[in-house]
Structure 1
Amino acid sequence: MMSVSEQDAAAAIKARMVSLTVLELFSTDLEELDRQLLEKVAQAPKFFRNAPVMIDFGQLDQEVDGSWLEKACELLSANNFVPVGITGAEESLEFAARARNIAVWPAAGTARHDTVVESPQPEIKEEPVQSPPAPQEAVTPQEAPHTETLVIRQPVRSGQKVYARGGDLIVLASVSTGAEIMADGHIHVYGTLRGRALAGARGKESARVFCNDLQADLVSIAGVYIINDDLPSDMRKTAVQIYLQEDQLKIESLR
């Protein structure tokens, strides 16, 4: 079979890592859902504008049909979200979703706010190095030991995405607005942290984010996130560490 060169091809299909906002449902009350969406969008209108959303039915103990899904999608669109998929739904609802060209994902697992589609190919040059040995301690499936650390020496620019799969990520430069960095373990940024930083991408709740200059659009640990508008004013543009404690993100000064 003759292969088609990239120069002659009309398109190329590649795996990319992307983040989605997950709408985890606990009720079918559309009026209450609309109220909460309006409240959330008001906190950061630019951040949520045209944000792709996956609807998670895994925690919902009420049955819904295709008509309800249609109304929910219209409500999301009215609030400037873009419904792109569902997860945790009954088979009949999956059929209704496919009928309106909405993707169906497997169960969402441990992710609570953001879900990640992994990329097998990094988009910028990377340098793997061995991490120092970790202290001996009991290891659970969620707290699997890191095998290597990904070191990025150049700035991570707008539109670039970096994922340290199975380990920590160290960025020895700055991260620009519109960039996204992600790690299954900790994230260290020795310059200015703008853009999005997602540590503990596979649910590791002990992961932390360290940076010398906090200006991030979003920081997430194990799916729990904080957006720029909610960052404490006294922690902005300072060296901080961010960690998860009792399902809330804590920000502490490093100086």
Structure 2
Amino acid sequence: MTPYIELKNVNYFYEKTEALKDVSLTVNEGDFLAIIGPNGSGKSTLMKLILGLLKPMQGEVYLFGKPVSEFKDRACIGYVSQKSNSFNSGFPATVFEVVRSGLAKKTGLFHRYPKDAEQQVKAALISVGMQAYINRPISALSGGQQQRVFIARALISKPKILLLDEPTVGIDQQNMQSFYRMLTHLNTHHDITILLITHDVDAVSKSISHVACLNRTIHFHGYQQELEQLPDQQLEEWYGHPVRRVMHKGGDRS
């Protein structure tokens, strides 16, 4: 089976600063992989390499079996960046308009939307539990609701894999488990492979199938249950500082 994403012995430097060292990583169909690591561990660099925004100085990056530089079918990949302060909360658009704009990946920026665009928007919003907000201004939603809308926007092009960069920014602890249940539903019922990047060990959920611990190099890559069995001291060594680990019960994967 060809991996959806594969990194082989990847190295990357910013001038003389080593960002990633000898990173090898595989994401297969059906995985729900969380890449965890502290701030400055190279997570953003890793995401840019996967998206083809950076070129590895050593090693190779493959998407669906092809070198990232040769991969053209971008509709196969849904990407949601960090929302946080990069989104203008006063942007005058409705939820419907924001999600529909995701169709531009297939139609092109200046092409007309397909006749069934409304149905596609509704289906994407249903998948993230936001169909009741379709006519609301995006600025009227909470941070967690906005993030669900951005995920719906990424899903409307029917990607095979969803890349999420710090998706819980702006989501309070009270709504965190609900957010993870939504991601679990996408993974198990909509056959969406998910790669989630986060700096927070607390974000490791029962719903995630695999975990990779990154701090410039990959210290651990395996099943989530295996990570649970490791002592906190081992995680602290990888992180470089004490960590608090809480495994959320995000839902039954069976």
Normalised TM-score (structure 1): 0.29
> Of the two structures, which has the highest relative contact order with CA contacts closer than 8 Å and spacing of 6 or more?
2
Q: Who wins on radius of gyration, i.e. which is larger?
A: 1
Higher share in strand: 1
Normalised TM-score (structure 2): 0.29
